[in-house]
Chains A and B, each alone.
Chain A
Amino acid sequence: MIKRVLIANRGEIALRIVRACRELGIETVAVYSDADSHAPHVAAADRSMHIGPAPALESYLSIEHLIDAARRSGADSVHPGYGFLSQNPSFASACEKAGIVFIGPPASVLAQMGSKIAARRLMETAGVPIVPGETPRDQSDGGIAAAVERVGLPVLVKASAGGGGKGMRRVEPDGDIAEAVQAARREAMTAFGDGTLYVERLIPRPRHIEVQIFADNHGNVAHLFERECSVQRRHQKVIEESPSPVANARLRSRMTEAAIRAARASGYRNAGTVEFLVDASAGRGAERFYYLEMNTRLQVEHGVTEQVTGVDLVRAQLLVASNEPLPWPSASVTQRGHAIEARVYAEDPARGFLPQAGRILLYREPRMPGIRVDSGVEEGSDVPLHYDPLLAKVIATSATRDEAIRRLVCALREFPILGIHTNIEFLIGILEHPRFRAGDLETGWLDAEGASLAPAGPVEVPGHVQAAIAAYESESESQVEGPAARPDPWQRLREWRA
């Protein structure tokens, strides 16, 4: 059994991993950059190691600094979380060489599934349908542009090492190919340290449905059903749910079988996700789906699967990495009820969704039955500008989709975050939209129609809010006496009791 895990990540996922480790009696080592020395994930872990300056390339993306921190802290394993180095084969093999367990698939699987040419070839062989496209050998800007022409516009130019919409650009028939290629490459370099690009034909109006898979070191490969993540803004998932409102038993079994084939063909280990684009335009029973990519790591949205299956995926990751079999009896897992997650981002919908940095002045998480909040910040936290703007994930679970949506809206209405702008009002607008309520989704919806959900222009401040602000301001003015004016009870304490 692994005994001490270095968590090569930050924010909510680092905290999530700390909690799973603690339940299993595993020690945790947090890492932090200069921008994160006071971050909650650092305080929550048993130990913490400084790994460099604020820019991610010199800290959370530095294999050298992370391996060094793992060695010096005596960690026997590394959990990469998601993003950063989680799908980087060089990092996994550096861990292997240092005798440290990488909690995830072997480096060879990361390399194969991370390389889109190899992954596409493998999927074809395994009988998994793929999106038409190309990864050009000639990786110059001209070479990519030529591939764009061959595949035929409209296309997506994507980072070979990508995920989460970073390093991806859409090119329309009248679009600027060169600018898109250069932007995708720069973003890929910053986010993943690898600028290799590939081109995929754009499937019109697709739904995004993915299957959670899990494999142990003893030949067991299982799926944990699907998640639908069709509500995306610029390819960043915003709302995720399980089950998918469109998946009937037949589509579900076809997709989960394809996902298991994909996992077996790649020699998969640990937690992973097979993403599919689903073309549901031909109506019920005639859905077509295409392999999009395999995410060789824990997903941001893993929580919705945990809520409907009752499986703790991070705990399972730790056990499987310790050579244990899958920690649930085969065929015992079912989808129970409905779970929906909303991602709370530090961004300003009224100003083009600009990422926000700054201090959180007030932060109160909603507390109610059936609501789970996975968060990486607290009141007083500074949100740095260097990293992903995800602040928290709010997950509502209930018996039906309608009930889960209503519960999530209630929770978001009681989630005050002040000091930086967030997308909470925008999230409520999505959840209350008739098309979302009807489950009539496609990945382009939010970018087209959903833009009108962003607040614009000045708003009238309701009377009760004005009254509260007035009370707050007069109260602040009356608090003129300094701390010295009040006696400090702690100064007088001599003895302590339990």
Chain B
Amino acid sequence: MARVTRAGRGVYAVARGEEEADGHDLVYVAGPPGNTWAFSNGRVFRPIEPGRDAARPHVPGTVQLLTAPMPATIVKVMATPGQAVKAGDALVIVEAMKMELSVRAPFDGVVKAVHCREKEIVQPEQTLVELES
């Protein structure tokens, strides 16, 4: 492992080689151990958040939970239980920081249940709509 010198709170100088003359790179680190954020030369490094970053392929004949993408306020709920929808149909409109985003059906299917109502504040990964194909 490379030689690391603490250069300040959350700042680390990491040696590029064995010799001092080889130089070093600066890295900034913060966050709880195991869930850290790091920054070096304009780039941020972050462990992949399971479920948030991975694309979830849909298996036909199963129910998929459509979740809130971020902390947001529900602006409008278009989906009603039992409704048949096409891929790309807007089911719920959420708003955060004054920008609206549509939660859309990822495939053709039937709305099994709706778990949100207008003006409600929702958290990431909270289920908004259950969709069945």
**Chain A residues within 8 Å of B30, by CB:** 361-362, 418-419
Given contacts A387-B98, A418-B28, A465-B40, contact A476 B4 (CB under 8 A): no
In contact, A418 and B38 (Cβ under 8 angstroms): yes
A467-B1 in contact given A418-B28, A419-B31 (Cβ < 8 Å): yes
Contact of A465 among B27, B52, B75, B98 (CB under 8 A): B27
| Given A351-B69, A424-B44, A473-B36, A364 and B99 contact (CB-CB distance below 8 Å) | no
| Contact (Cβ within 8 A) A355 B97 | yes
Nearest Cβ in chain A — how far from B32, in angstroms? Answer: 8
B72: Cβ under 8 A from any A Cβ: yes
Across-interface contacts of B37 in A (CB, < 8 A) = 361-362, 418-419
Any B CB within 8 A of the CB of A98: no
Q: Tell me whether A186 and B31 are in contact in the complex, defined as CB-CB below 8 angstroms, given that A388-B97, A412-B42, A464-B14 are known contacts.
A: no
Contact B44–A425 (Cβ < 8 Å):
yes
Q: What per-residue 1/0 map shows which CB atoms of A307-345 lie under 8 Å from chain B?
A: 000000000000000000000000000000000000000
- Looking at A1-9, A213-221, A454-462, the stretch in contact with chain B turns out to be A454-462
Q: B42 touches which one: A346, A386, A425, A461 (CB < 8 A)?
A: A425
**Which residue from B27, B45, B52 sits with its C-beta under 8 Å from A459?**
B45
Q: A421-B44, A472-B29, A473-B36 are in contact. Are A362 and B10 (CB under 8 A)?
A: yes
Chain A residues, Cβ within 8 Å of B69: 351-352, 354
Q: C-beta contact mask, B16-50 vs A, less than 8 Å → 1, else 0?
A: 10000000010111111110111111111110100
Counted as pairs of residues, one from A and one from B, with CB atoms less than 8 Å apart, the total is 144
Given contacts A385-B72, A465-B27, contact A351 B53 (CB under 8 A): yes
B70 touches A458 (CB 8 A): no
Q: Is A47 an interface residue (CB 8 A)?
A: no
Q: Is B12 an interface residue (CB 8 A)?
A: yes
Which residues of chain B have C-beta atoms less than 8 A from A356's C-beta? 70
Contact A186 B76 (CB under 8 A): yes
CA distance A409 to B42 in the complex (A): 9
Q: Does B90 touch A at the CB level, under 8 Å?
A: yes
Given contacts A186-B75, A362-B30, A364-B28, contact A469 B36 (CB under 8 A): yes
Within 8 A of A (CB), among B62-102: 69-72, 75-76, 90, 93, 95-101
When distances are taken between beta carbons in the complex, the residues of chain B under 8 Å from A422 are 44
CA distance A429 to B32 in the complex (A): 29
Q: Is the CB of A465 within 8 A of B45?
A: yes
Contact among A354, A357, A413 with B101 in the assembled complex (CB-CB below 8 Å): A354
The size of the chain B interface, using a CB distance under 8 A, is 46
In the bound complex, do residue A183 and residue B31 qualify as a contact, i.e. CB atoms below 8 Å apart?
A: no
Contact among B42, B72, B90 for A179, CB-based, below 8 A: B90
Would you call B6 an interface residue if the criterion is a C-beta within 8 Å of the partner chain's C-beta atoms?
A: yes
Q: Is the CB of B101 within 8 A of A166?
A: no
Query: A470 near B44 (CB under 8 angstroms)?
Result: no
The count of chain A contact residues (Cβ–Cβ below 8 Å) is: 55
B59 within 8 A of A: no
Q: How far is the CA of A473 from the CA of B28 in the complex (A)?
A: 12
Of B4, B14, B37, B99, chain A has the most CB atoms within 10 Å of the CB of B99
Q: A186-B76, A388-B97, A477-B33 are in contact. Are A362 and B28 (CB under 8 A)?
A: yes
A187 touching B97 by the CB < 8 A rule? Answer: no
**A416/B28 in contact, CB under 8 A:** yes
Distance, CA A355 to CA B70, complexed state (A):
8
In the complex, residue of chain A having the shortest beta-carbon distance to the beta carbon of B99:
A355
Which of these, A387, A409, A475, contacts B97 with CB under 8 Å? A387
B43 touches A357 (CB 8 A): no
Question: 0/1 per residue, A363-404, Cβ < 8 Å to B?
Answer: 010000000000000000000011111000000000000000
Known contacts A418-B37, A472-B10, A476-B33; decide if A413 and B42 are in contact (CB<8 Å).
Answer: yes
Residues on the B chain within 8 Å of A354, using CB: 69-70, 96, 101
Contact partner of B98 (CB less than 8 A), chosen from A166, A421, A461, is A166
**A468 and B29 alpha carbons, distance in the complex (Å):** 7
Within the complex, what minimum Cβ distance (angstroms) separates B128 from chain A?
A: 15
Alpha-carbon distance between A415 and B44 when the two chains are bound, in angstroms: 10
Task: Bits for A53-96, please: 1 = Cβ < 8 Å to B, else 0.
Answer: 00010000000000000000000000000000000000000000
User: A459 to B28, alpha carbons, bound, how many Å?
Assistant: 18
Given the interface contacts A179-B90, A418-B37, does A468 sit within 8 Å of B99 by beta carbon? no
B contact residues around A461 at 8 Å (CB): 38, 45
Given known contacts A346-B97, A464-B2, what 18 new A-B pairs fall within 8 Å (CB)?
A186-B75, A186-B93, A190-B98, A354-B101, A362-B37, A388-B97, A412-B42, A416-B39, A418-B31, A418-B37, A458-B48, A465-B40, A467-B1, A470-B1, A471-B4, A472-B12, A473-B36, A475-B6
7 contacts between A and B (CB under 8 A): A187-B100, A357-B70, A416-B28, A464-B14, A465-B14, A469-B29, A472-B33
**8 nearest A-B residue pairs (beta carbon):** A468-B27, A416-B39, A361-B30, A413-B42, A418-B37, A362-B30, A468-B12, A416-B28
B residues sitting closer than 8 Å to A (CB atoms) are 1-2, 4, 6, 10, 12, 14, 16, 25, 27-34, 36-46, 48, 52-53, 69-72, 75-76, 90, 93, 95-101
